[in-house]
Structure 1
Amino acid sequence: MELYDESRGGRPGCEKVGPEAALHISRALAVNDVLLTLNLGNNRIGAAGAAHLARAIKSNRTLTALNLASNELGDAGLVELGVALQENEVLVAVDLSGNGIASDSTRKLLCDAWSERPREDLRFD
């Protein structure tokens, strides 16, 4: 499945996924029982989009791999996702690299959330 912005000409790759698209994706994740991997790397989801996705991730029981690398999430978005990871029981691979973690407390939250359950791969910088 490819995501793109039809209002920008409808061609894949023309526009990056932003916070509003993340809201729609999160709504789909809330009822998802099929999708195992979601790659949204190298977009512009931002902290607001991360908050939308975090709400869906808390209750999603199907998604096992998530790539949100290079999405301008910042500490605020990463904290939202860290809290969601504490509640999610099925994600085993998450890439949050390239999102500019500035705070040691954010790093600790992500590490603590990840270590609560048997998981495979968490990437962040």
Structure 2
Amino acid sequence: MALDVFTPIGGTVALAVGTATARAALPDPRIGTEDRSLRILNAGDDTAFVAFGGSTVAAAVPDDGAPANGIPIPPSHAPEPFRIPPDATHLAAICRSGSATLYITLGRGL
């Protein structure tokens, strides 16, 4: 069985995240959309919530019992791997309180 090893493509993007939505364009969209993946490392002290979408995507922090447009990325944890949705051009992030720095690396594989 072959391993699906992550191969980075291009540089890593740093995204400063606070209590308002921050947004970044996904780097190097030239690779095939079915193959795009990324790793997100939260180097901050607070959980960040990320969302994928177009140029106006906004991330949100979920409240009790109400879903929101955000996937939690815990602080000081191993990088989280994601396959990028085919139509996504941007990533948005937000923290409930405090701040975080997300390091986003585009590549292939997970």
Fold-level match, TM-score > 0.5?
A: no
Normalised to the residue count of structure 1, the TM-score between the two structures is 0.23
Q: Which has the higher strand share?
A: 2
Relative contact order, higher structure (CA 8 A, sep 6+): 2
Q: Which has the higher helix share?
A: 1
